[in-house]
Amino acid sequence: MQITEFIMNTPITWHGIKLHHWSMLLALCLASIITACEKNQPQTIAIQQGSKTFINATVLSGTVSDKNGTVKTGSVDLNDAQNHLLVSAALDNGHYRLEVPENTALPVVLSVSTGTGALLSVVVDPSINQYDINSLTTAIAKKAQALGGYSRANMVVAAESMINAPDANKTSTGFRGDPTTQYGGWH
């Protein structure tokens, strides 16, 4: 009998189990290694975040300005994420006030067309109702869109990259200060 035949045909015992083939031992070893590796892999848990909505009809208000100063005439449009017009309000000497219909899903976009171009401000939080619309909020909105869309996380990253705020004024969730001013409304 040759040595390879002897090794292949000689039963061995592994953890009390008689194995008649080395290939079975190899398969068990590989299975043990794979199982051990899987146990050491970090577990990831998908966090489901519900979409935010304006549950009740809500009034949004603010001011509109461009590089030339206050925009005194025109109208502010509120569009949903699919760019469908929800409501429009006339400017009153640079101020607007409009009512968002109940059960409106966020994000929504406030927009104004001026002689110098379109201005934007994005609403991602139903608890805030004061939104100024200006060139900074427009730049933040465009940057967030380029980052992948108008999510709260993208808006915060975009806002942090657009303004010069000392690190002492930043927190893990945004900026300290007046919670009614959002994404470009810091004074």
pLDDT on residue 165: 61
Where are the chain's structural domains? 3-38, 55-175
Per-position pLDDT tens, the chain of length 187: 555 555 556 565 655 555 555 555 455 455 556 655 555 544 444 334 457 999 999 999 999 999 999 999 999 999 998 999 999 999 999 999 999 999 999 999 999 988 778 999 999 999 999 999 999 999 999 999 999 999 999 999 999 888 766 666 555 555 454 444 555 544 3
pLDDT on residue 44: 41
Q: Is 142 in a helix, a strand, or coil?
A: helix
Read off the DSSP letter of residue 93.
Answer: T
Read off the DSSP letter of residue 109.
Answer: E
- Helical ranges in 90-151 per DSSP H: 135-146
What phi and psi values does residue 179 have, to the nearest 5 degrees? -70, -10
User: To the nearest 5 percent, what fractions of the chain are helix, strand and coil?
Assistant: 30, 30, 40
pLDDT on residue 114: 85
Q: Is 66 in a helix, a strand, or coil?
A: strand
pLDDT on residue 24: 53
What fold is seen in the domain 55-175? Immunoglobulin-like (2.60.40)
Give the span between the Cα atoms of 82 and 89, in whole angstroms: 19
Sign of CA dihedral 77, 80, 83, 86: negative
Q: What is the pLDDT of residues 118-167, one digit of tens each?
A: 999 999 999 999 999 999 999 999 999 999 999 999 999 999 888 766 66
pLDDT on residue 71: 94
Q: What is the pLDDT of residues 146-156, one digit of tens each?
A: 999 999 999 99
pLDDT on residue 162: 81
